[in-house]
Amino acid sequence: MKRITALLFIAFILLSFLIIKSCVISNPKPEECEVVEVKITKITEGSSYDIVFHDDGTDYYYINRGLEQGLNLDSLNAKVLNKTVTLYLPKMPFGTSEHIAQMVLGDEIIFTEFD
């Protein structure tokens, strides 16, 4: 009985690790992203130095640690506020992330994680 319990515990730990690992976004590729066009109506600072972009509905998208990467809320407000941008959002096993891998305004790349 102890052996079965130990095996179930190990299986649970492995399954938990795989689920958590599948939700981590690292080194996204353009072909692994959903491309959406969004009108940005509000830009705020999120937790952990994130920059959060709100649309005219209830959706929001974020640049992970954007403030640490040299992005500035004032310059982003001047550039993209009330404009339609193209976002590349990584596809996840259970849907599409709100994490911005790339943001484009017209022909100008505002932010990218692509190599």
In a domain, 12, yes or no: no
pTM of the predicted model as reported, rounded to 2 decimal places: 0.78
Q: How many domains does the chain have?
A: 1
Q: What is the pLDDT of residues 87-104, one digit of tens each?
A: 999 988 788 899 999 999
In a domain, 49, yes or no: yes
In a domain, 107, yes or no: yes
In a domain, 84, yes or no: yes
Range of the domain at 43: 28-112
For 52-70, what is the mean pLDDT?
Answer: 94
In a domain, 41, yes or no: yes
CATH number reported for the structural domain that contains residue 36 in this entry: 2.40.50.140
Q: Decide if 90 contacts 35 (C-beta within 8 A).
A: no
Q: What is the pLDDT of residues 2-51, one digit of tens each?
A: 777 877 777 777 666 555 554 456 678 888 899 999 999 999 999 889 99
In a domain, 18, yes or no: no
- Residue 91: CB atoms within 10 A of its CB come to 13
